[in-house]
Chains A and B, each alone.
Chain A
């Protein structure tokens, strides 16, 4: 198991968990190619196949963060090469708006990233996962559930309200 505490001590012996949304035609196949080529990358990515990044509902991203993911990586075909003409442009715009919105909620834009890899780019896929993992590792764990537990002070402690 890789040691992520070197990036940020908050990891302890844990590893980042990144949810991936890969489009069926380019990036999922790039991931397949990375596999058949035996390109190693950190075991941080858990991916979901969608037909097109155009299917990427921002709800899925916030859901993944809420459920404990430390980052979300959306990967599609290169701009201009979408199997469905321009689903990836829609993803580009949604992610841009989502990143701005999430930044206001204290979620660093590096935690939600959009990248491209064609079916032939197993290497680019691998590098993207490595880079994303390192970025998220530096940011530290997300653990959104901590944000949902109330920390109301006990009145006995006499701290300000």
Chain B
């Protein structure tokens, strides 16, 4: 048995960007390779699930788990890796708070299948084929893992020791995490490896007292490069987003999208944004308020872009229909604003 600590990296429901982000630590990757014994990394090395299953419980020292949990397979691997790992790290926004895959929680499985296999304009599926959990072919029966109604975060499925925020995590934080693990100087379990302030702290833009009369979408104005974007009516999530990225987006005239998730101790980043943004709208009557809010389409999409699956409500409401549940279709909610309808 190798004396080096064992490292595993796994990719669940995610885009793969986190895998690349691990490599973005550049030459430090050599230190990692030197320091760790890579025992499982499906994207890079040819290990199989059976290899992991064969390991003793707790045999893996650290697992960097990226991606959300959206299928039975994701969940199964999460449970397996949890069992085999001493330290399980939710690596990146998907594993930590659901991220973009988590936006599927605005719909349900049926809606997803309907769109992906039938309604999407690029689909050519005249026979209306949908993937089945079991398909019988001459060679036998093929199975696919079940697809869930709800995308979950890693910690909604198994206990998680550390979190690395970001979509993807910035190299310096991956590096910090790796160094901490290598040196054994780990923060208390449950910690997020990152900062405890928000993006504004790293953002060089000049900020004023805020009064927002209308919101602009990025294509509607060319913002002043030195002034706070929010002050100029561009929705920037930086105020409620954990720092650590170095204010990357605001520094290129783009409002923060919120990928680092909410600040420490905040359980619902969207609600924080609603409160903060609601506070500084410059309107006093319901009509004026509506007029301002009409310039802010899709608030839930904005505020919960990365954190929906980990938010207080986690998903859109499901209603029962013939004993089966489905997501409340938006049309059935009398909207305050028709623009909210998609």
Is B333 touching A108 in the complex (CB atoms < 8 A)?
yes
Known: A147-B314, A152-B146. 15 other contacts (CB 8 A): A58-B275, A59-B271, A93-B289, A94-B279, A101-B299, A105-B313, A109-B333, A147-B316, A147-B318, A151-B148, A154-B146, A158-B132, A161-B109, A161-B132, A161-B144
Contact flag A151-B317 (CB < 8 Å), given A63-B312, A96-B290, A103-B335? no
Among A65, A158, A160, find the residue whose CB has the most chain B CB atoms closer than 10 A.
A160
Say yes or no: B134 contacts A155, CB within 8 Å: yes
Q: Does A9 contact B (CB under 8 A)?
A: no
- A residues near B, CB below 8 A? 57-59, 61-63, 65-66, 79, 89-90, 92-109, 142, 144, 146-148, 150-155, 158-161
Q: Is the CB of A79 within 8 A of B284?
A: yes
Instruction: Bin the interface of chain B by size.
Output: 35 or more
B149 contacts A161, C-beta separation under 8 Å: no
For A148, give the chain B residue with the smallest CB separation.
Answer: B314
Q: Is B337's CB within 8 Å of the partner chain A?
A: yes
Measuring CB to CB, which residues of chain B are less than 8 angstroms from any residue of chain A?
72, 106, 109, 113, 130-134, 143-144, 146-150, 152, 267-268, 270-272, 274-275, 277-279, 281, 283-284, 286, 289-290, 293, 296, 298-301, 303-304, 311-319, 325, 327-328, 330, 333-337, 340
A94 to B272, CA, bound (A): 10
Q: Is the CB of B279 within 8 A of A93?
A: yes
Which of B272, B296, B335 has a CB less than 8 Å from the CB of A59?
A: B272
Pairs A–B under 8 Å by Cβ, sample size 18: A57-B275, A58-B275, A62-B271, A62-B312, A65-B313, A93-B281, A96-B290, A97-B299, A100-B293, A100-B335, A105-B316, A106-B330, A107-B313, A108-B333, A147-B314, A152-B147, A161-B132, A161-B133
Contact B312 A151 (CB under 8 A): no
- Nearest to B150 among chain A residues (CB) is A150
Bound-state CA distance A56–B180 (Å) is 40
Please state if B271 and A106 are interface contacts (CB–CB under 8 Å): no
Contact A96–B340 (Cβ < 8 Å)? no
In whole angstroms, how far apart are the Cα atoms of A141 and B255 in the complex? 38
The 3 nearest A-B residue pairs measured at CB: A106-B328, A106-B317, A94-B278
- The answer to whether B318 and A104 have CB atoms under 8 Å apart is no
Complex Cα distance, B316 from A58, in Å, reads 17
A92→B289 contact, CB < 8 A: yes
Q: Kindly list chain A residues whose C-beta atoms are within 8 Å of the C-beta of B283.
A: 93
**A159 proximity list for chain B (CB < 8 A):** 133
Q: Inside 8 A of A65's CB, which chain B residues have their CB? A: 312-313
* Interchain CB contact under 8 A, B268 and A59: yes
| Nearest chain B residue, comparing its CB with the CB of A157 | B133
Contact of A58 among B148, B274, B284, B317 (CB under 8 A): B274
CA distance A93 to B279 in the complex (A): 7
B313–A147 touching, CB < 8 Å: yes
Chain A residues within 8 Å of B317, by CB: 105-107, 142, 144, 147
A106 touches B278 (CB 8 A): no
Which residues of chain B are near A95, meaning CB under 8 Å? 278
Nearest CB of chain A from residue B301's CB, rounded to whole Å: 7
Quick check: B274 and A158 within 8 Å, CB to CB? no
**How far apart are A73's CB and chain B's nearest CB, in angstroms?**
17
A160 touches B132 (CB 8 A): yes
A109 touches which one: B284, B330, B334 (CB < 8 A)?
B334
B residues in contact with A66, CB < 8 Å? 312-313
CB-CB nearest in chain A for B332:
A106
Interchain CB contact (< 8 A) of A158 among B134, B268, B328 = B134
Chain A residue numbers with a CB within 8 Å of B106 are 104-105
Interface contact B148-A150, CB-CB below 8 Å? yes
Inside 8 A of B289's CB, which chain A residues have their CB? Answer: 92-93, 96
Chain A nearest CB from B321 CB (Å) reads 12
